[in-house]
Amino acid sequence: MRALIRPPLLFRKIVRGALWRMNKKEKKIYLTFDDGPVPSATTDVLSILKKFNVKATFFCVGENVKKHPEIFQQLIDEGHALGNHTFHHVDGWNTTTRSYLREVQQCAEVFSSKLFRPPYGRMRPAQRKAIQRKYKIVLWDVLTYDFDKNWSGEDCLQTALKYSREGSIVVFHDSEKAKERMLFALPKFIEEMLGKGFEFGVLK
């Protein structure tokens, strides 16, 4: 499982056209957050980002946006970028292509974005090909595993620090499940990377 912190080059080539990493020559990190917005977790993330004057990209679940419009509006007001993460956070491997595309469209009816990240990073080839006609599919260069209850916040932090490099797209989760580990690792990660001379960018 830990091998997927950074997906192997062969896997990146198989999933053609997806965005895994940004410019390797720029000393920038791209923070991304999946599964929100939700009370507490997302608002705590926003407080940390504001403290460090850092922007990020939030891949939002449509259902959560509808439940918590005020938090979603805060994301927009504070200048963060947005991405589609389906309406109900469905697994593409266990969903028909027709149903999966309906999920993507249902989320798009709640808010607009040209970015898409599949929940769990999983899609069928037919789903990917259809989605790529309208969206830039964003995956990752570093997965922190903050969602894994068998990992500690320190594990997540050290993973992020060890694997992040120029152009890395780093995945955290603004969810209740990941909250404790994410909130431990996130501020320390930002502070350390800023200290190393990195900047933080948003995906477009």
Count how many residues are written for the chain.
Answer: 204
- Asked if 117 and 32 count as a contact pair (C-beta separation under 8 A), the reply is yes
Domains and CATH numbers, the chain: 7-200 (3.20.20.370)
Beta strands in 71-201 (DSSP E): 81-84, 115-116, 136-137, 142-143, 169-173, 199-200
Active site residue 34: yes
DSSP state of 154: H
173 included as an active-site residue: yes
- pLDDT (0 to 100) of residue 16: 77
Catalytic-labelled residue, pool 141, 155, 173, 174: 173
- Cβ atoms 65, 100 nearer than 8 A: no
Q: What pLDDT score does 1 carry?
A: 40
Are 89 and 118 contacting, i.e. CB atoms less than 8 angstroms apart?
no
Which pLDDT value is given to residue 10?
60
How far apart CA 98 and CA 104 sit, in angstroms, is 10
| Tokens 């969903």 sit on residue | 95
Residues of the chain with pLDDT under 50: 1-3
pLDDT on residue 3? 45
**CB contact at 8 A, 66 and 39:** no
Question: Given this model, what pLDDT does residue 41 score?
Answer: 97
pLDDT in the model for residue 2? 44
Res 11: pLDDT: 63
pLDDT at 8: 63
Cα torsion 20, 157, 56, 190: sign: negative
Catalytic choice (34, 141, 146, 174): 34
- 182 burial level (CB within 10 Å; 0-12, 13-18, 19+): buried
